[in-house]
Structure 1
Amino acid sequence: MPVVPTDFGIFTPRAELVYITGEKDNHELANGNTDDVDIESYALFAALEADVHSLFKPFIGGYFYQGDGDANDGDIDAYNAVTNIARYAPVFGMENAFIYRAIPVLGSNLYDGTPSMLGIDEDIGQGYGGISNSASANSPGMVSMGLGAKGSRDNWEYKAMLQYFQFEDTGALEDVEGNSIDDEMGLEFDVNLTYNFTNHFSLGNTLSIFEPGDGIQDLHGDDFDQTAIMNTFEMRWSF
């Protein structure tokens, strides 16, 4: 259940907990068998922001998305939101951050930022949750921890943040892939600077740097160890 932010002096805490339960009939397990499985999982978010100055509002927090630990136990423990739009969340959301793109190597969908599409066996398919049921019942979930700051002065505004990501549970993913997978997903730094000419037009630039962790190399090979650098220039009109 979401908690509406309440200011405590200069501090604004935010938190959200989501719990899901249900059943999925005729689910194909990683071993090729079919079974009616139980669904039980949860996710949570927490962050704290401080309004120190209009030029400096630091924040800290993170996400927890449960992963599945066994692809053949008759249970689905992975949390996959029907539509996750963390890209636009008030704390760690950023329009052109790398993690919120659709990145097949990371198993992330557009706007989402979680590895929810990892663990799908193309031969049998295990679609569960996500946009158009595109996520995986064998998703490793994710734990992220981050900090950053934002601020504004006159027509200028900025936001900078650093986030560390790791898989929550790689057990089911290892059942599908057939090898050991490290839980380190990666580290990302993002910084955005925007100039607002009017209330309807702005120019901005976002630099996003992602350093893949050992878990990405375990999934895709040693060639997937290079740092991803993405720079996005944006012209925005709003009416």
Structure 2
Amino acid sequence: MSFMLLLVALFIGHIIADFYWQPMSWVNNRNTRHFRAKKLYLHVLVHGLTTAAIVSWWEFSFGWQELSRIGIATAIVIVTHYLIDLAKSYSNKGVVPFIIDQLAHLVVILLLTVWLSDNSEFITSIWQWLITPTTLWVLCGYLLVLSPSAVFIRMMLERLTTGFSSTGSLPAAGQSIGMLERVLMLTFILLDQLAGVGFLLAAKSVFRFGDLRASKDKKLTEYVMLGTLLSVTVTLFIGLAVNYLKAL
């Protein structure tokens, strides 16, 4: 219980300090001036003070009440947060650097929580959970509904709709929408919530209805229907297969 309390408290503290107590002017200052940015040092100081407050509360409520551990934890967060944010300031500012940046912060928080709570068995239990056949089959399912399914559906549509080209849409938007759609459908299937799949298809139909009616293009209608049905068929097959293999 104390481990989870510390973990969620540090996680909440990170969210507040990183997204609510950091104005965009600080982010812009960091991205343009890098290690010379005064706002970067102010930002990591805010994180350090937030961490110190949380760890102090936890130490005197559940821990060993050691001031040295509070100081070490605060220093670790300040140094690691500075290095991670500094590295991010030199990136291309895309989605991938953002995700890597946040994952790096979360890893630091997790390891810090394990150390402060003396809960070394947590890492072992997580590893044991990760290498179970059930977890690996679920991971395999999600990997399959992303790029491999997109390649398969694209190949099938190219064969069935030779010479057809859709214009007026964002580049790669259809592929991205399809991936998100399949991830959601697979999640519903793995949770045995097939009604969610129906809701997702109904919502997509509502959004697509206006475009299809306005275009009055039979080929576009068939193209959308083929893509949707292929996506649903592939995801249902993968989801049902994963559910079957998990039960073995």
**What TM-score range do you get, normalising by the shorter chain?**
under 0.3
Structure with more relative contact order (C-alpha pairs < 8 Å, separation 6 or more): 2
Structure with greater strand share of residues: 1
The TM-score normalised by the length of structure 1 is: 0.24
Structure with the greater alpha carbon radius of gyration: 2
